[in-house]
Amino acid sequence: MLHLVRHADAGSRMAWVGNDFERPLDDHGRMQAEAIGAALASRPVRRILSSPYVRCVDTVVPLGRILDLPVETCDELAEGSYVNNVFELLGPLASAEGDAVLCSHGDVIPGLLWVLNQYVLDIPELGRCKKGSIWELEVSDGRIVGATYRHPRTFGAA
């Protein structure tokens, strides 16, 4: 399974003074990150990939700590990334043993889901991508065969 995680709450982009790349999680976002870690800790996760933005890395650090896995930063998951590059990233991950967690942004995940919806499968709830949410992409024989949206409130991260 592939788990697409939208980064947790990081306060207001407009209120942040400094480079947006460095904007950290706020208090609620840190709580969400812990809940995401707990929600995915029982999965057979083999890799954790994240946009290099601080708020994304910090969202999946608790999971990495629980599973003793490094968080690998991946430019393809950065805000504003070309969706086809993200789509190409999924192929090897879908074919690999175990689950992968990918943490990204509110433009990248919906864009990727739109491509999947157009060419691979029908995705219910296509427009949903709340901060701290998880899209679970079911994989069979190296192919994405299903997608399920998990609102943060369903695992204590609302």
How many structural domains comprise the chain? 1
* Dist. CA 22–CA 43, nearest whole Å: 29
- Number of helices (H) and strands (E), helices first, in the chain? 4, 6
pLDDT score, position 103: 99
Residue 107 has pLDDT above 80, yes or no: yes
| Cα-only R_g, the chain | 14
Domain extent for 99: 2-155
Residue 51 has pLDDT above 80, yes or no: yes
pLDDT score, position 130: 96
Q: What is the mean pLDDT of residues 9-25?
A: 85
Domain of residue 56, CATH code: 3.40.50.1240
Residue 84 has pLDDT above 90, yes or no: no
